[in-house]
Structure 1
Amino acid sequence: MALTPRLWAPYAGHVDLLLPAAGGRTPLQAASDGWWASDVALPHGTDYAFSLDGGDPRPDPRAAWLPAGVHGPARVFDVDRFPWTDGGWSGVDVRGAVIYELHVGTFTPGGTLTSAVERLEHLVALGVDVVELLPVAAFNGRHGWGYDGVAPYAVHDPYGGPAALQAFVDAAHGLGLAVCLDVVHNHLGPSGNYLHELGPYFTDAHSTPWGPAINLDGPGSEHVRRWICDSVLRWARDFHVDAFRLDAVHALHDDSQRHVLAQLSDEVAELAEELGRPLGLVAESDLNDVVTLGSTQDGGWGMTGQWADDVHHAIHALVTGERHGYYVDFGSPEVLRTALTRVFVHDGCLSTFRGEPWGTPVPDDIDGHRFVVFDANHDQVGNRALGDRPSSRLDTGALAAQAALVLLSPFTPLLFMGEEWGATTPWQFFTDHPEPELAAAVREGRLREFSGHGWADLYGGDVEVPDPQDPATFAASVLDWNEPTRPEHARLLEWYRVLVALRRAVPDLGSGDRMRTSLDVHPREDAQDGPWQGVLVLHRGGARVVTNLAHVPTAVQVPTARPLEVVADFGGGVLQPPASPDSPLVLELPPRSVVVLA
């Protein structure tokens, strides 16, 4: 399918189409509302660019392929050339699914979508339902997290470009795996962002941590909104992507009558009906407000689900004992109980870290599967000073406990690549900015970010923050696929497989019913300072998840209305037979162990 170039550039007096292979300039014709159009049909593989008012070449903001990088010309990509084999694919509902988050560049030593395909069988064996790719939109340089992309329609060429993404999705579908794409609409990166030259893509009416906000409610915003919505629809239609994780939607400032996410939700729902398969939208939001999940007919944003950071914080702070930064209000078992049943810990109460009341309560009738939870993800690992994973600070028993609390919670669990075997490789913040000034600014900014967060106390001494621009920082973050074969890692990996299987085999453990979820707490009276010690009994309907976070053996009574048996055991727990039909169950737990009863 040939491309007939079009460009929305209301700031330009005239626009030329540039074809580097042919040379010369072909004027575009002015159309309505600031659009410029060409009657030239460009075949697949043709390089092209635009020139505004005789200026330097600029790539197409809707370019699918940027093989020369974000500053070079676009290349026409015919989406219909790929020989899809997923005609029978019926999709996956992300609610209640097991999601696996991976970064293409560090998931495998090859660092490409093609090499990632070679590891999909591992995810199938683990029991994963949805593979979530960190952003693949094109950005400057070779290595980066992807959140500084500047071309949201293009696939980063070092990952393999657009054809490689189609092949990845097709291979995933062939193995029964859905694909979720992490997309960033709240800002663009600093290098290769030419949108400000074209039209009012940004506005000073709102601000974000990255500068002026994307223009969603000012003059010309209808075209900016169309640019955002069209990109998502295109990934779903032409690349067969199943779901989208929408980055930091609280930074999508929109005072218009209909929020852009409501518009996106309605349009995605229409496309899902047309395609005959579910399409999911999962918002990352710092607002602690279920407006994200509300019906678009009632003023909500219509998201399928949203991330719930408070659940992570409650688990992490309890198990590790960390209280610095935003963990200050977390760490007690009572807070964990709140998170596991009410989702938001800050639901209108004071957030000490923010210095103000925060959030709203989650209504009881909202299913737990609408919330995505985790004990690690790219932010919670990568934004630590050393990019250290929980496995660097916790023993295997504590890692097993965290996994059970997440995977057998009433929520939708997300795993971060490598956590399933307790990967020891860090996942650090890495960049590859070619511009010396930008590289220096990122390096200095990273050092400032960690100057006052108590990291020296946490790590037990002065902290040397890895240089984001050092190639060694990136190299250290690549997963070591030899680790899963080693005994202690293999033991944890098998535990993850067992927990995922239990979600499917035991209805109570896979349920999203928060009203049938509760937490009993049995603290050790003689526990020393440090991370909390004791036994937690998580009630999931008629099932029980019992974790001993103490360093000594412990016996605990497990209340139940019916006979239970051990269906999973990490550490060697023993269930004593009741002395009489009316006697409570007594579970003997070794130190740092987990037992699941159903």
Structure 2
Amino acid sequence: MTETVGARLLGSGRGLFSVWAPFARSVELRLVQPFEKLIPMAPSEGGLFRATADNVAPGTRYFYRLDGKIDRPDPASRHQPEGVRGPSEVVDEAFAWTDPYWCGLPLQDLVFYELHVGTFTPEGTLDAAAGRLERLRELGVTAVELMPVAQFPGKRNWGYDGVFAWAVQDSYGGPAALKRFVDRCHHLGLAVVLDVVHNHLGPEGCVLGDFGPYFHARARTPWGPGLNFDGPDSDRVRAFFMDSALRWVSEFRVDALRLDAVNEIADLSPVHFLDELGAAVHGFGRSVNRLVYLVAEDNRNDPRLVRPRELGGRDLDSQWSDDFHHALHALLTGERNGRFQDFGAVEPLAKAWREGFCFTGQYSRYRRRRQGAPADLLPARRFVVCAQNHDQVGNRADGARFGELLSFEAQKLAAGAVLLSPFLPLLFMGEEHGETAPFHFFAEHSDPALMAAVRDGRRSFLAAQGWEAALPDPFAAETFERSRPDWGLAGSGRHRELLALYQELLRLRRQHPALRKPGAEPVRAVALEEQRTLFALRRSDEGAAFAVFHFGDMRATVPVPAPPGNWRRVLDSADARWGGGGARTPEDLGSAGQAPLELAPKSFVLYEASPA
């Protein structure tokens, strides 16, 4: 283990400051609040500089002065109360946790709820978000997933432009607010998932390149230089981000890390950064008797990410399945532009239900190459699926959610397809009541040239996806403000009915014998293309159930391949209880291997095996 960098309180009014700065010949600690003082730092082997200072307490602010010329915040800053260019602040890591015996939740019980702190509430803070947690528990979610909170420039940003990997965004409330948020979640029985970025840093306010070789010329990402995880002096760089990740799960007691775009992590080391990270995070969890997870985002459909290490995998716990989203989205919207051009039939969604991915080595027209590898032997808990998330909504020209794009019946159908699947489901804030406000891409930068470059980059990116519409200005405050959910909608009309359906589906997922536990038998999913219908059968040791999803625009009588036996209807989305026009499916159904069901347009029905 390398020595931890940053500022640390030693007690008795003393503080230890350590920084890795191999690019500097000399480093001085410049204290700026509550008093000014310049302290030479002692160099040691490998480019590390240290200094001990007196009269240091929580709230002390400081810079590092490099070669007697430039002042920079601490790369390992724990708090940037004046923004990315201001001084770093010493923080007290102590916190009075109210649930010290929290051990986490089983992976298969996780239902993710993704939210953006800045737009989730009018206040845009972690404390304000904590005030809405009881509503999420009542909804039935079990894990609150925060988009990145590492310090970024300004107050309006998705979070992927973070430049201080150890600091909590000041406008969100800083490190103490994140601890209060996690503590409240655990008190309510909710796990916390934090989105972290280990592939790049943001373009404004990043100081790492002034201190050492944190970036690698070979490692380019779509967002800028990649991190040096395998070049000269990379051990220190790896340790810096490894320690940052461990700090989230140890000091802040976060239950899982969502790893952003791991396909953009360039590392040719014999032991990949992800291997090392997984071993460290899982090892920490075992040492404190907590369930701690790593969930990857990766667009390659690579099952090795979640295979056990002894089978040649990286031993991560789960990964996002974009294929599931794309297959469902294309069926519901009819869109075929960009990433949706490979989808549109029912079979891709059926395959995603069976295997987690649609592309497992086949040619993709969109990518113009083969995509993915077989994943059919992986358990369902290795995949996270959704109908909407920040990427899929925000990376549209209009930022439109399903509440604007789809009919009420189609929104219910989307909910059923995700929540009745065997995978770990993810909801995007406001989805549960059919939020109609858009979720745009937004940011806040101070450099006009950088802002112009970002605008041009967004136009080029969206044009490549087939979007030619005019884009809202990502730097306009109103673009950010329009992206806030309207929580008042949840109590009215069809929004209330949709919310009730989400609650019922999540209740069934928790309590129904065929849905609450994965069975040894794989899911049977059959595409009935002529009827635009998907049949899916789930079995467990405790029961069996099948769901039928009808994506057609007309009422249809569909011969479904229900196994022989008697079946009882559990839920039909066309029922008046859920705001539908009335269900015509029978309450009791007998099947000799096939049975006709009259299905309403854009509807789904769930049946369970009747007791013998």
| Category of TM-score, reference length = shorter chain | over 0.9
Structure 1 counterpart of 2:604: 594
Structure 1 counterpart of 2:3: none
Out of 381, 386, 394, the residue aligned to residue 369 of structure 1 is: 381
Question: Is it true that 1:545 corresponds to 2:547 in the alignment?
Answer: yes
Partner amino acid, structure 2, of 1:46: T
Question: Is it true that 1:218 corresponds to 2:231 in the alignment?
Answer: yes
Out of 30, 40, 65, the residue aligned to residue 51 of structure 1 is: 65
Out of 441, 445, 449, the residue aligned to residue 457 of structure 2 is: 445
Q: What do residues 359-378 of structure 1 show as CA deviations (whole Å, max 9, x unaligned)?
A: 111142x1011111101100
Q: What do residues 174-232 of structure 1 show as CA deviations (whole Å, max 9, x unaligned)?
A: 11101000000100001111111111101113322223320001111111111111011
Alignment of 1:3-402 (within 5 A): 3-21=15-33, 22-40=35-53, 42-80=56-94, 82-364=95-377, 366-402=378-414
Out of 492, 499, 502, the residue aligned to residue 486 of structure 1 is: 492
- Taking a change above 3 Å as real, the CA distance of residues 580 and 452 of structure 1, as seen in their structure-2 partners, is closer
Provide the secondary structure at the position in 1 that maps to 2:413: helix
The alpha-carbon deviation at position 578 of structure 1 amounts to 6.9
Q: Is the 8 A contact 1:293 1:304 kept in 2?
A: yes
- Taking a change above 3 Å as real, the CA distance of residues 581 and 128 of structure 1, as seen in their structure-2 partners, is closer
Partner amino acid, structure 1, of 2:63: A
Partner amino acid, structure 2, of 1:167: R
Provide the secondary structure at the position in 1 that maps to 2:155: coil
Q: Is the 8 A contact 1:498 1:568 kept in 2?
A: no
Distance 2:257 2:591 in 1: 50
Q: Name the one with the larger strand percent.
A: 2
Distance 2:355 2:448 in 1: 48
Q: What do residues 266-313 of structure 1 show as CA deviations (whole Å, max 9, x unaligned)?
A: 111111012211001001112211121133355432211111111111
Distance 2:313 2:466 in 1: 39
Partner amino acid, structure 2, of 1:517: V
Larger RCO: Structure 1 or Structure 2 (Cα < 8 Å, ≥ 6 residues apart)? 1
Distance 1:28 1:455 in 2: 53
Distance 2:596 2:371 in 1: 41
Q: Is the 8 A contact 1:368 1:513 kept in 2?
A: no
Distance 1:441 1:238 in 2: 37
Question: Is it true that 1:403 corresponds to 2:415 in the alignment?
Answer: yes
The alpha-carbon deviation at position 577 of structure 1 amounts to 6.8
Partner amino acid, structure 2, of 1:596: L
Partner amino acid, structure 2, of 1:538: A
Question: Is it true that 1:518 corresponds to 2:531 in the alignment?
Answer: no
Structure 2 counterpart of 1:536: 534
Distance 2:590 2:105 in 1: 46
Distance 2:277 2:590 in 1: 59
Q: Is the 8 A contact 1:387 1:428 kept in 2?
A: yes
Question: Is it true that 1:434 corresponds to 2:446 in the alignment?
Answer: yes
Partner amino acid, structure 1, of 2:472: P
Q: CA-atom RMSD, angstroms? A: 1.8
Q: What TM-score do you get using the length of structure 1 for normalisation?
A: 0.94
Q: What do residues 389-422 of structure 1 show as CA deviations (whole Å, max 9, x unaligned)?
A: 1221211111111111111112110001111111
Q: Is the 8 A contact 1:132 1:181 kept in 2?
A: yes
- Taking a change above 3 Å as real, the CA distance of residues 162 and 473 of structure 1, as seen in their structure-2 partners, is same
Which stretch shows the higher mean deviation, 18-27 or 400-409?
Answer: 18-27
Provide the secondary structure at the position in 2 that maps to 1:576: coil
The alpha-carbon deviation at position 568 of structure 1 amounts to 1.8
The alpha-carbon deviation at position 584 of structure 1 amounts to 5.2
Distance 2:118 2:387 in 1: 22
Q: What do residues 138-180 of structure 1 show as CA deviations (whole Å, max 9, x unaligned)?
A: 0111101000000011011001111100000001111110100
Distance 1:188 1:50 in 2: 20
Structure 2 counterpart of 1:472: 478
The alpha-carbon deviation at position 590 of structure 1 amounts to 2.6
The gaps in structure 2 that reach 5 residues or longer are: 1-8, 576-582
The alpha-carbon deviation at position 62 of structure 1 amounts to 1.1
> Matched residue pairs, number?
582
- Taking a change above 3 Å as real, the CA distance of residues 321 and 511 of structure 1, as seen in their structure-2 partners, is farther
Partner amino acid, structure 1, of 2:565: R
Q: What TM-score do you get using the length of structure 2 for normalisation?
A: 0.92
- Taking a change above 3 Å as real, the CA distance of residues 155 and 445 of structure 1, as seen in their structure-2 partners, is same
Provide the secondary structure at the position in 1 that maps to 2:53: coil
Provide the secondary structure at the position in 1 that maps to 2:32: coil
Alignment of 1:491-510 (within 5 A): 491-510=497-516
Provide the secondary structure at the position in 2 that maps to 1:329: coil
Structure 1 counterpart of 2:558: 556
The alpha-carbon deviation at position 344 of structure 1 amounts to 2.0
Q: Is the 8 A contact 1:96 1:411 kept in 2?
A: no
The gaps in structure 1 that reach 5 residues or longer are: 457-462, 525-532
Partner amino acid, structure 2, of 1:276: N
Q: Is the 8 A contact 2:346 2:533 kept in 1?
A: no
Structure 2 counterpart of 1:569: 572
Which stretch shows the higher mean deviation, 129-138 or 353-362?
Answer: 353-362
Q: What is the percent sequence identity of the aligned residues?
A: 43
Distance 1:61 1:34 in 2: 14
Q: What do residues 311-361 of structure 1 show as CA deviations (whole Å, max 9, x unaligned)?
A: 111111112111111111111111111111122222111121111112111
Provide the secondary structure at the position in 1 that maps to 2:113: strand
